[in-house]
Amino acid sequence: MGGWLAGIPLFWGKIFAAVFFVGMIVWAWFRPRKYIYEDSPDGNRWRDLRIWATVLLGIQIVLYIVF
């Protein structure tokens, strides 16, 4: 994996990673509410899996910025 790719700064890895995580959050929120709650016993807010996904991916963004 040499050539021109070897010249890409390591910093771009963090940029790619952050864009990737944000893209996943946006994708999750494009899932319809009905689809997310399908078969759920109730409509409580904590059962909204899009919120879970946002928390998970948000933590990832922080980790990849710090390290």
Partner 1 sequence: MSIRGIDLIIVIAYLIAIPVFGVYFRKYVKTEEDYFLAGKMLPWWVISMSIIGTNIGAYDYMGAAGGAYRFGIAQANYEWIGAIPAMVLSALLFVPYYWKAGVYTVPEFLGKRYNLAVRVIEAILWGAFLACVLGVFFWASGLMLNEYLGIPVEVSLLITALIVGIYTITGGLAAVAMTDVVQLLVMFIGGVALTVLGLWTVGGWSGLVNAITPTNPDHFKLFLPLDNPTYPWLGMIFGLALVLSPAWWCCHQAIIQRTLGARSEWDAKAGMLFASFPKMLIPILVVLPGLLALALNPGLVGADMDKAFPWLIKNLLPAGLAGLVFAAFMAALISSVDSTLNSAATLWTRDIYQRFFKKDASDRHYLRVGRILTLVFVLWAIAFAPVTKEFPGIYVAMQTLLSIFQGPTFAITLLGIYWKRANQWGGLSGLLGGVAISSSLFFITKSSFLYIAWWSFLGSALITMLVSLLTKPDPSEKLEGLVYGLVMKDKDIQDILKKRAEGGE
Binding residues (CB under 8 A) for partner 1: these are 1-2, 5-6, 8, 10, 13-14, 16-17, 20-21, 24, 28, 31-32, 35-41, 47, 49, 52-53, 56-57, 59-60, 63-64, 67
Rounded to an integer, what distance in angstroms lies between the CA atom of residue 35 and that of residue 65? 32
Q: How far is the CB of 5 from partner 1 (least distance, A)?
A: 6
Nearest CA among 34, 22, 28, 23 for reference residue 65 = 22
The nearest distance, CB 38 to partner 1, in angstroms, is: 5
**Which residue, among 15, 26, 36, has the nearest Cα to 57 in the 3D structure?**
26
